[in-house]
Each structure stands twice: as C-alpha cells, then as structure tokens.
Amino acid sequence: MNNCASISYISSSYIELTRTCHQSCGYCGFFRSDDSLLSIAEIKVRVADLARRNATEVIFISGERPQEFPHIQIALHNSGYGSFADYLIAVCQTAIEANLLPVLEVGYLDPYTWEKFSAAGCSARINLVPAALSEPGQALENSRGRNPSMGKACIEAAHAAQLPYSAGFVIGIGESEEERLSFIEETGRFCTADPLLQDVRLIPFQPVPGSAMSGRPPLPFAAVEKAVAALRRAFPVHHISVPPWLFYRFPELVEAGLNDLGSVPIFSGDPTHPNFDIPCYETLKARLETHNILLYERGTLSTTAAINRPEVINTIAHTRSLIERRNLSGLNLVDNDHCFVCGPRNHSGLHIPMNKSVEGHTCTFTWTPGPAYQGYAGIVHGGVLSTLLDESMAYAVMGAEKQTLAVTADIRVRFLRPAPVGVPLKFVATLVGQRKNLHFARGSVILPDGSVLAESEGRFAEIIIHGASK
C-alpha cells in the first residue's frame, strides 16, 4: 500500500475500585464521596474473566486519596489492609498472577506512596492540567492540589520510584490556547527523555452528565488537531493517543501526528465517559483501512527500563505471545459482551445466559419470544430462530470449558411447524462430530409438549493461529 500509515492500540479494560474521591474537579462526572470499595475477591473474578478473554492490560481506576473517607478506612480495615496503598499492591498482584499488566489511574500520590509500588509490577497514569484554573467558576475551583506544578511533582515522584508512567494532557477545561500549547511544550522539555515515560495521551474535554461543567461545549476539533501536532513536536518518539470517542476523526488526527489509540477498553467501556460507546477492533480496522491506515496491537510497556523489571518478565512474555498471534491473524475474535444473543452490554440484545446453558458439548436453554420477534402475526420470525440455533450449536462446539474457538462455516435450518409467539421454546444443540478443523453440530427447537418446530445442522471452523488453538 502506497503512503500507508500505521497506528497502534492496546487491548485493555477498566476495573473500578471506588469512585470515592477527595477532589471535586468541575470537568469530572465519575467521582463522588460515598462509593464503596471493591473487594479483592470480586477483583479476582473480574481479572480472571479478562484473562479468559485475552486482554493484555487492566486499568484499575479509583478516586484520589479515598482513604480520607471513614467508610473506605473501615472497608480497608475489614479487609486486613493497613492502607490504601497496601490494597492497591494486592490489586496489582491479582493482575500479574493472571498475566495481565496492571495500570493504576488513582490520581496524584505523594512520593512515599509511589515508592511502595516500585516492585508491584504496575505502571501509572498521571493526568496533567495545563493551568491552575482555581478562580471562582473555573474548572479546578474546588480541587485541592490540582495544578501544573503538582502534576510535575507527581511525575518526579513516579520517576524517583522507578515506576513506568504515561502522561495524559487534560485540555479544553478553560485554559487559553497559549496556556495549552505552552504547557505541552514545557512538559515535553521536562520529561520527553525520561526512560520511564511510556506514552502520551491527549484528553480533550467532553461534557459528562453529573459534572459541574456538563453544560460547557467540547473543544473545537481544530483546537484538538493543533494540540496533537504540538504533542508530536514535544514528544517526537512517543506513542501519542486520543480517547476512543474521537473515533470518527482518527484519520484526520493521524495527519497531525497521531500514531496510537492507546488503551482501548473494549471489554468494559470507559467509565469516565459512559455516554460514548467504545468501538471494537474490527470497527476500528475497517474505518482506518479506508484511509490507508493499518491498525496493529502493541503492549502496555514500550521502554527497556519498564520491560526489564523482574516482576513483569513472565507477564510480558505472555502478552507478547498473544499480541503476536493476533497481529498475524486475519481475524480478531473479541468477546466484548455485545453479542446480540447473549451479550449483557447489548441494550438491544436478547440477554440469554448462554454461558450457563452448556454442559459438556450440549447446549440447552429456553426462550419465550415476544411480539417484537414475529414475522407474520403470532409467528416467530424464521431468521430469529435461525440465529438462536446458530448460537446454540456454536456453544455446543465450544463446550462448557470453551477450549475450542470456532466460527460458523455454514448452517442449514428446516422449519417443520410455525413457532408461536408467547410460548416457551426450548433450544437443544449437540456436537456430533469433527473432521480436522471442522466441527459438526445439530440443533432443535421444541415446544413444551415435545413437538419439534425446527431442526438445524451446522459446520463450524475452528480458529487456529500458527499452530495454537486460542
């Protein structure tokens, strides 16, 4: 491809530890003062799920200094942790044990606390503001210690602790263009040569429901474009990214210097901007390829100083293997909970709990169709029945342990009798054979009296990437 550009991304997810925060930044709608603390047991469940889906990093997000609130202190004490830092170290350990790279987005910490994370295997996100903005009515009027100087001090503390970090530039919150561009330039002179700096993120303001600035308009695109160009000049060798919700403007920003999409939270969405959907890999790829831009996956860590830490060597090796296989594959199958049949995050989906419907290589579930799924009056649309038969056979092929990853090669459905709306329909599918990388399954739709309404047969192609079944 002539004049082809490349852009990278990280297969990522958020886990919210607590929204409790001692700050009150006007542009933020995520944090509040009364949120509970996520237990380590629940964190392990969520981390294990991300590992099963082959994510490579997990961003643990919380409010800044939540331990100042009594209910968080009590929760830490009841869990056996002497401090919030001790809790965060345990959180990072759960990720490392699951071969996920942990990233902390927990606000500004003091040098003593940063030092505690020097051997935790994590990296940090440090979000910077370009101006003080502390006057009445400004974005940081009710914030404590949130200004450019404190951001610089936080970077210095992370560096002293030998902690890898990424720098995020929060812009469009009331600063002037001169303040914005000067701050980017000054920060570049300050830390662009730091071997612990992994990447640079631009975070343009977007109004968030519940924030003090929810009525403020977002920064014009021309200003965002100019900021990306300023970052490219200030950080000439680093990954420079923007949030996923600027998805439709990615190609134009590539021309300004964008070379990375950063951590794309395809498994969880972005809790800081819940009103924006996160595009998945195939959507991103299709959008960029029309502009002659190739998309590839990268790891969280990008410098020798960060990669060679002994506590992450095994995790780095695991994530590199995943990334290499996916980059070389022509098909990237990601379960981001938006499946029409079973995805809990798909607001228009059927929400059938398929994971709980499989025993061995047999899938059985019951679904009662409403009038929204009819073709002719009172009769379920045949395409809907075909979809559910396809899904049930696919789960039968994959099995309860999901050891096999497969996609539909072809299916054949025979409709024997009309399926009535409003009646419980039982779907049963079973794996019936295999030849090389093809798996064969059969399925049926059955009324409560045992009458068979439809039967199906399907062939499913197992996805094998360079000799390893994912």
Poorest-pLDDT segment among 12-21, 239-248, 460-469:
460-469
Average pLDDT over residues 423-431: 96
Residue with tokens 């403020």: 216
Residue for token digits 């331990």?
A: 67
pLDDT of residue 37: 97
Q: 20 pLDDT exceeds 60?
A: yes
Residue 32 DSSP label: B
What is the pLDDT, as a whole number, of residue 464?
A: 65
- As a whole-number percent, the residues of the chain with pLDDT over 70 amount to 97
* Distance in angstroms (rounded) separating the CA atoms of residues 278 and 432: 38
Nearest to 242 by CA among 130, 251, 27: 251
The model carries a pTM of 0.84
Instruction: Retrieve residue 153's tokens.
Output: 């001090």
- Tell me the domain boundaries of the chain: 5-328, 354-469
Give residue-wise pLDDT tens across range 412-422. 999 999 999 99
Using 50, 70 and 90 to split pLDDT, how confident is the model at 209?
confident
Would you tell me how many other CB atoms lie within 10 Å of the CB of residue 202? 23
Distances (CA, A) of 200 to 108, 186, 257, 363, 406: 17, 14, 12, 46, 37
**Whether residue 403 has pLDDT greater than 80:** no
Per-residue pLDDT tens digits for 310-342: 999 999 999 999 998 888 876 667 777 888 999
Task: State how far Cα 450 lies from the chain centre.
Answer: 43
Q: Work out the average pLDDT over 162-166.
A: 96
Classify strands 165-171 and 197-204 as parallel, antiparallel or unpaired: parallel
Write out pLDDT tens, residues 120-139: 999 999 999 999 999 999 99
Decide if 409 contacts 362 (C-beta within 8 A): no
Note the pLDDT of residue 331.
Answer: 65
Beta strand pairing call for 165-171 and 123-128: parallel
Residue 70, pLDDT above cutoff 70: yes
d(CA 386, CA 4): 41
CATH number, domain 354-469: 3.10.129.10
Q: Which CATH number fits domain 5-328: 3.20.20.70, 3.40.50.10680, 3.40.920.10, 3.40.50.960?
A: 3.20.20.70
Res. 469 pLDDT band, cuts 50 70 90: very low
**Predicted local distance difference test score (pLDDT) of residue 466:** 40
pLDDT band at 38 (very low <50, low <70, confident <90, very high): very high
The predicted structure's pLDDT at residue 59: 98
